[in-house]
Amino acid sequence: MDDQKRNMIVRLHEIFTMGSDLPDELDMESPDVKDFLDTLSEDRRIAFLTSAKDPDVRKMSVGFNRAFANYWERLCLAKEQGKKTVFIPFNCSPEIFYALDLMPLGVETLNTMGLNVEEGLHEYLDLAIERGLPDTMCSAQRGVVGMLEAGVLDMPDFLVNGALGGCDPNSKIFEYISQKFNIPAIYLDVPFYHDQRALDYYTVEYKKIVTALEEVSGNKLDEDRLREVCELSNEATELFMEIQELKRHVPNPVPNYYNTIHNATKLTMVGTSDAVDIFQKALDVSKERLKKGAHVLPEEKIRFMMMYTGLYFGGNIHLWLEEEMGATYLLDMLVSNDHNPIIDTSTMDTMLGGLAEGMLNLPMTRQLKGAWDMPANWLEDLLYYADTYKADCLVFTGHTACKQAWGIYRLVADEIKKQLGIPTLRLEGDGWDSRITSMAVIKEQISDFFETLQ
């Protein structure tokens, strides 16, 4: 069968399984490794080779690949096992779905992971537009719409969107999928403010979602199971907070690559023991690196952070930044979870409250739902992150669809310069679609910018 027409989740499962079957210590000349590399898209081959080169990164990626192989397998088996699947955006925490015995699939995560198997996902990005979606909608979800159109993805049982108010394209695409493919959608309204009143409102909304999910799935939320999930979520939170602490060191011992696995794990697996294992490994490796004085080689020349989204194609930007620029990629706003609360697991109510609070503090929902300079909004958080992690400069990747971020970039950048004296670079392009601005151009712009700082 033409590979392009095969189910995307099945293909991801195959790739991650092959990847995770490889020995921890890689022999790059072995037939297994060569076979595996042949299955990858160009972008991901570069990414894999990159991670394989650095033994510390390899250690982190082994567990990550294994956990994801499991994850895709569970999705493959979901139908057979009578488990319902739910599509969610990146600002919808997965815990509640695990507690309800549902399988969550983050559309942005799938879109990004899909880049492993098919070069650029261009066919799907374009198909979504050909079939009606406006081309200004976000490519982070568009590939998935294209996959549904092409029939290489099974329809989920329902959709849950928790992004209303943070990003129009994000919420609107769920309404579109719901109408076009006739899939029930449940929405969670995000209030404009970030205070106790907003949290109370949001918590009520969150609880209603739980009730709605119970109704549509027929599964009842069990308090003990919820506690188990919340405890695993708390463990993951504590671990990634520790990793964040390590990032404060100058030079930073946490490899740039960590940011990628953090995001995928947080959005997909938090609430499972796999997520705990991944973060534990990342922490162990980073601590070890701190001990032995390992960091960006040969020296940490620049510490920078992405102001909002990262770049998800091109494979080796992390390594390039490390090796050729001597730059530490501290974080991007989408992996920034410093405000994630520890969930109080005493009662059903406190747990649901904690999960709701976690959701309200997820990237984007937290920073882009209100006015630019309100408490807990984009400016305040950027100031906090830049200051806490001692960034020398900031980069805005300029993902075209993020109109709500573009619309205040100038205000925010000016204010950061004023308050912290830190310069920013504004790129233009697309985080997922390499055809808009190529990685070569992006690298050139970043490199020119870094030069001005030295």
Partner 1 sequence: MKPLAKLASISKTLKNEVVTDWINQGKKVVGYVCTYMPEEILLAADILPYRITGKGARDTSLADAYLTRVNCSFARCCLEQGFRGEYDFLEGSVWVNGCDHIRRCYDNWNAKIPRPFMYMLPVPHMFSPEGRQWYKEEVVKFKDAVEAHFNVNITSEKLSEACKIYNETRRLLRKLYDLRASDAPPFTGAEASIILSAGFVMPKTEYNRLLGSLLNEAEKKSKAPQEKVRLLMTGSLMDDSEFVENVEDMGAIVVTDALCFGARYFWDRVAENGDPFEALVDRYYTHVPCPRMAGEYPTRRDFILNQIERAQVKGVILQHIKFCDLHGTDNAMLKMDLEKKGIASIELEREYGPLGDAGRVRTRVQAFLEKIGG
> Given the complex with ligand SF4, which of 160 and 302 has the nearer CB atom?
160
Instruction: Tell me the backbone φ, ψ of residue 186, rounded to 5 degrees.
Output: -120, 135
DSSP string over 341-391 = PPP--SSHHHHHHHHHHHHHTSTTTTTSSS-TTSTTSHHHHHHHHHHHTT-
Our finding on whether 140 is near ligand SF4 (CB under 6 A) is: yes
The site map against partner 1 for 295-324 (x = CB under 8 A) is: ------------------------------
What is the b/e burial string over 240-278, where b = at least 16 CB atoms within 10 angstroms of the residue's CB?
Answer: beebbebbebebbbbbbbbbbbbbbbbbbbbbbebbbbb
In the complex, the smallest distance separating the C-beta of residue 92 from partner 1, rounded to whole angstroms, is 14
Under DSSP, the state recorded for 79 is: T
**CA geometry: angle 133, 135, 140, nearest 5 deg:** 85
Backbone angles phi, psi at 345, to 5 degrees: -95, 15
Least distance in Å: CB of 433 to ligand SF4? 12
Candidates 86, 306, 351, 364: give the one binding ligand SF4 (CB under 6 A): 364
Question: What residues between 381 and 410 interact with ligand SF4 by CB under 6 A?
Answer: 399, 401-402
* 317 phi and psi angles, rounded to 5 deg: -60, -35
366 binds ligand SF4 (CB under 6 A): no
In 63-184, which ranges are E strands? 85-88, 103-106, 158-164
Separation of alpha carbons 100 and 108, rounded Å: 22
Contacts with partner 1, 383-412, as mask; x by CB under 8 A: -----------------xx-xx-xxxxxx-
Rounded CA separation 375/381 (Å): 9
- Show the site string, 6-45: x = touches partner 1 by CB under 8 A, - = not: ----------------------------------------
We find the least distance from the C-beta atom of residue 370 to partner 1, in angstroms, to be 8
Q: Quick one: what does residue 372 bind among partner 1, ligand SF4, none, with the CB cut-off 5 to 8 Å set by partner type?
A: partner 1
- Specify whether the CB–CB gap between 300 and 326 falls below 8 A: yes
Q: Which is nearer to partner 1, 328 or 404 (CB)?
A: 404
CA distance 451 to 329: 16
Residue ranges in 163-222 that form contacts with ligand SF4 under rule CB under 6 A: 167, 169-170
- Closest-CA residue to 263 (of 333, 181, 321, 313): 333
41 binds, among ligand SF4, partner 1, none (CB under 5 to 8 A by kind): none
Q: Which is nearer to partner 1, 181 or 284 (CB)?
A: 181
Host H or E run for residue 327 = strand 327-332
Kindly state the smallest distance separating residue 120's Cβ from ligand SF4, in Å. 17
**Residue ranges in contact with ligand SF4 by CB under 6 A:** 138, 140, 167, 169-170, 309, 364, 399, 401-402
**Residue ranges in contact with partner 1 by CB under 8 A:** 132-134, 136-137, 161, 164-165, 167-169, 171-176, 178-180, 185, 187, 189-193, 201, 204-205, 208, 370-373, 400-401, 403-404, 406-411
